[in-house]
Amino acid sequence: MTSSTPLLVIEDLHAAAGDTEIIKGMSLTVERGQIHALMGPNGSGKSTLSYVLMGHPGYEVTSGRILYKGEDITESSPDQRGRDGMFLGFQYPEEIPGVSVLNFLRTALSNRTGTDFTVLELRLKVAEAMKELGMDQSFADRYLNEGFSGGERKRNEILQMTVLEPELAVLDETDSGLDIDALRTVAEGVQRMHTPERGFLIITHYQRMLDYITPDVVHVFVDGKVVESGGPDLAARIEEAGYDEYRLEVRT
């Protein structure tokens, strides 16, 4: 891959769940070093897009392509995408009882890098990341998301991103349900990870996350496709005016 090759290219993507088409001709390009924000109303297909990008088996790509680092990954498995440096921060992270945060990260990082880290090596790496995120060290030994508050679950997603160091991070409404302190922690984690080689696609309903993270490009996503793209001022306009004008355009 040359330096001029985009990190992610979505070409006229159509995807469905069963007989229901949800993504209806989506195109988008994320260059290395860019932060893109995808904003849209509830039910527009934003979360579906994040799952399709990561290869969720519950959704079928019916036409179009997904290119990652210049390679067509439309048919690639989720684990292959993860090993290649793609990361998804879930809107509703699942509980995994009996599996500690530390052991989960050890397995995930070993699969990502091909290196079998010892528990001590990983504990040191995780402790450093937790310190940066202002998290209590005891967090590492708790079972993954079991009994976690909403804010703790989202901080855990950012911890995973920090430890795994993906090249492309897709954050699906990570700001959902967060208080102002947790929101600031998540935003600082993204800013800390933002490098010239790493790209972000931040999926959100509101502007509140973008008060702390300035995107390079903002996309308005309605009824399964991008209907407008622009700079950070577009997010402010949506916050003020809402999505009604875009819904009307799609219907007509």
In a domain, 133, yes or no: no
Q: Is the pLDDT of residue 82 over 70?
A: yes
**Residue at 236: amino acid letter:** A
In a domain, 59, yes or no: yes
In a domain, 207, yes or no: yes
> Phi/psi of residue 26, each to 5°?
-95, 130
The whole-chain average pLDDT of the chain stands at: 90
In a domain, 118, yes or no: no
Range of the domain at 218: 8-92+168-180+196-251
* Strands 35-39 vs 199-204: parallel, antiparallel or unpaired: parallel
Q: pLDDT tens-digit profile of 88-122?
A: 988 777 888 899 999 999 999 988 888 888 888 88
In a domain, 49, yes or no: yes
In a domain, 2, yes or no: no
Please give the tally of structural domains in the chain: 1
In a domain, 138, yes or no: no
- Whole-prediction pTM value? 0.90
Q: pLDDT tens-digit profile of 115-165?
A: 888 888 889 989 988 888 888 888 899 998 888 887 788 888 889 999 999
In a domain, 224, yes or no: yes
* CATH number of the domain within which 63 lies: 3.40.50.300
Compute the average pLDDT of residues 49-55: 96
Rg (CA), the chain: 18
